[in-house]
Chains A and B, each alone.
Chain A
Amino acid sequence: MRIKIAVKDLKKSFDTDRGSLQVVNGVSFDVTDGEFVAIVGPSGCGKSTLMSIIAGFDRPDTGSVTVDGASGMGPSSKGILISQHGSVFPWLTVQQNLMFGLNGHAPRDKEGIADHYAAIVGLKGFERSYPHELSGGMLKRVELARALVVKPEILYMDEPFSALDALMSLRMQKELLRILAVERHTVVLITHDVEEAIHLADRIFVLSTRPAQIQATFEVPFEHPRKLSSPEAQGIKDAILRELGV
């Protein structure tokens, strides 16, 4: 399998009042094309900083992130970041949000593409709504659809569903799998939800407490749709929780 993302020995520290704080300490891993990897870790371990660097918004102190052989690239529509708090523009309608990243299309085509993806994520009929008229789950769908519209090769998801209630989170995980089955993206997911990781990912990296390092890697070789209640899945879950010290 072709390597899509190569993360090599990332280190990052921040200056604080009490001196330098090491947040990421030598993280390396590869992601193959079309693979779904999840990174789980305790809260405050430096997950979001790591994601910021991988997605190109921050620079590491040392180490490199290489995407398709090119390193040190800034953010681009090749890989879209979906973050915990969301960044759907509240001043644009759903349709305008979805059209935001589209360049070089005729206006009519843009609307058509936007409405197509709105339908895919189940937002048909809400194209002209404003975000403040939508629920939290629907906002996530807008965010996801807006990312999919630009046909990114990679989705960077930083705790994308953690602000939703448990039921809605589960529903969105199912939706995501359904969409990924059609449009094969490479996905890097950061989460603190072990079950979510097992439900979605092909491989799971467990991070240590700060400064973050990869302390264990798990393969999740099950076919979708997965049953988390199966003994094998429970076995992986227990092993991951043991790594996390729970």
Chain B
Amino acid sequence: MTGSTAILKLKRTIPAVGVIATLIAVWWLIVRITHSAIFPTPWQVVTGTLELAANGTLWEDIAASLMRVAVGFLLAMSIAVPLGLWMGWVKGAFSTLNPIFQILRPISPIAWIPMAILWFGVGNASPIFLIFMASVFPMVVQTTAGVHTIEKRYLRAAENFGVSRSTLFRRVIIPAVLPQIIVGMRIGLGVAWLVVVAAEMIALRSGLGYLIIDSRNAGNRYDLVIGGMVIIGLIGLLLDGVMRLMEGLKIVRWRYAH
């Protein structure tokens, strides 16, 4: 990167940083003016969160939430990608399974919470099930759509060269669909992160969702409530950033290049 583009990049981030700084300043000002006894100042949020980090509970909660998302998401992916490929390739599979998926897909994962508790109790299995339900559908839908939108000229070329079925899958279908799979993963992971927090607020004794609801219940610690929210936001941003890195891989760049 040359010096001038670095400066240009810096210049572009100034407005965004300005908005955040203004928001914090206004927040601080309002708390000071109203002399709120219960709503914390930004600085109280920082000290409260540091306290949690120091005694270790913050890290335990982050680890618990991430672990649930990882298990639920990977489980969903291992089912959704093969299923989506199959539904995209085989017309009968699509016409059989697509209607039921289209009905299940708009149901908010939160609506599954009572079922989850009934079936899996209040342990780790419940939120993992919810995360699975949340992320499996977007990934199936994106993968299927990806197969459907493979351009015919590529399939014709593969047919022309008379390649084996496995080569067709490894060299044409999978790489052609990969960009869409990654989009599905990005959506799926985003929803999974939304859902884990909601699930932990209701049924569990650990995790960032639990941290928020517990801080409120145990003595109105709103500094920790807000601290928890900010950390959820930052981790969500980080997860999305990792997915964006995948979109930059050379093998899928052709799809996003224009």
Binding site for B on A (CB under 8 A): 55, 57, 74-77, 80-81, 83, 85-87, 89-92, 96, 100-101, 103, 130-132, 150
CA distance A101 to B168 in the complex (A): 11
Whether B254 sits at the interface, judged by CB under 8 Å, is yes
Tell me which residues from 170 to 198 in chain B have a Cβ below 8 Å from any Cβ of chain A: 171-172, 175-176, 178
Q: Which residues of B contact A131 (CB under 8 A)?
A: 254
CA distance A161 to B88 in the complex (A): 33
CA distance A81 to B156 in the complex (A): 9
* B253→A100 contact, CB < 8 A: no
* A103→B154 contact, CB < 8 A: no
Which residue among A74, A75, A86, A91 has the maximum number of chain B CB atoms within 10 Å of its CB?
A91
Q: Please, could you name 9 A-B residue pairs with CB atoms under 8 Å apart, sorted by A?
A: A77-B161, A89-B154, A89-B157, A89-B176, A91-B175, A91-B176, A100-B167, A101-B161, A103-B164
* B161→A87 contact, CB < 8 A: no
Q: Which residues of B contact A96 (CB under 8 A)?
A: 171
* B254→A75 contact, CB < 8 A: no
Whether B62 sits at the interface, judged by CB under 8 Å, is no
Q: Which residues of B contact A76 (CB under 8 A)?
A: 160, 162
Q: Which residues of B contact A81 (CB under 8 A)?
A: 156-157, 160
Whether B51 sits at the interface, judged by CB under 8 Å, is no
Main secondary structure of the interface of B (DSSP, over half): helix
Whether B9 sits at the interface, judged by CB under 8 Å, is no
Main secondary structure of the interface of A (DSSP, over half): loop
* A89→B172 contact, CB < 8 A: yes
For the complex formed, measure the closest distance between the CB of A125 and the CB atoms of chain B, giving whole angstroms: 18
* B160→A80 contact, CB < 8 A: yes
Assuming A92-B175, A132-B254, A132-B257, is B156 touching A87 (CB within 8 A)?
A: yes
* A92→B159 contact, CB < 8 A: no
Which residue among B161, B175, B178, B254 has the maximum number of chain A CB atoms within 10 Å of its CB?
B161
* A91→B153 contact, CB < 8 A: no
- In order of increasing CB-CB distance, the 7 nearest A-B pairs are A101-B161, A90-B254, A87-B157, A91-B175, A87-B153, A75-B160, A132-B254
Q: A85-B153, A150-B161 are in contact. List 7 more A-B contacts (CB 8 A).
A: A77-B160, A80-B160, A81-B156, A91-B254, A100-B163, A131-B254, A132-B257
- Closest chain A residue, CB of each to CB of B157: A87
Q: Which residues of A contact B158 (CB under 8 A)?
A: 100
CA distance A87 to B257 in the complex (A): 17
Whether B26 sits at the interface, judged by CB under 8 Å, is no
Residue in A55, A77, A85, A92 whose beta carbon sits within 8 Å of that of B171 in the complex:
A92
